[in-house]
Amino acid sequence: MARRIAYIGPPVLTLEDVARQCRIEPQDLERALIEGVIIPGVTTQAESKTGAAIRPAEYVDEWPESYGSGHTLDVGQAFEVVEVRRVLLDGSTEPITEPTRLQREQLQSYLHFPRGRPPGVLQVRYKAGVDLEANPGVRLWLLMHAATAHEYRETMVAGTILAQLPGSFLDSMLDSITVPPRF
């Protein structure tokens, strides 16, 4: 399982994006709620649902020796390998100088070692994040969920019946980046 090291880019939505989707003036929104709760919340929800990086971030995967050249990276939408390191017996690491090639597919990315996979347990550090221009449905999914989260900020709404859009309709907007199950 990959571990996120740090986000490397700005959030994928802005206060203005959410205001436009909610049909509210930006100055009428509570900035801390939108930027500190709603945008990170829907981003995390999409990442959890798809297995893909939504907001650009740096990740590290630990590859046991059984992972050969051409194995998938754990997080979808990887676009750059930063470095590969070998884990030594004492837990320290050393850099690997073998060339790598990242094969980017629609849902997953595969790391190849053209001259053969180096022996040992490897740590693969890479960058990943969805291209929202190439996947406009993902942006729409984020905006729709952000607007819903803003409208229904509490866990219960007294006296109101909420009818959710069919999950298959909403979630189909994430299909273009959803990583397939791996077992």
pLDDT digits (tens, 9 = 90+) for 144-177: 999 988 887 665 444 444 455 556 656 776 777 7
- Alpha carbons 31 and 56: distance in angstroms, whole number: 22
Q: Which one, of 137, 124, 147, 125, lies nearest residue 178 by Cα?
A: 137
pLDDT the model gives residue 5: 95
Counting Cα atoms < 13 Å in the Cβ hemisphere of 122 gives 24
pLDDT the model gives residue 83: 97
- Alpha carbons 110 and 10: distance in angstroms, whole number: 26
| Interacting residues of 63 by C-beta distance below 8 A, sequence separation 6+ | 71, 121, 122, 123, 124
Contact of 42 with 142, CB cutoff 8 Å: yes
Low-confidence ranges of the chain (pLDDT < 70): 153-170, 173, 182-183
pLDDT the model gives residue 6: 95
pTM of the model: 0.84
pLDDT the model gives residue 165: 53
pLDDT the model gives residue 105: 92
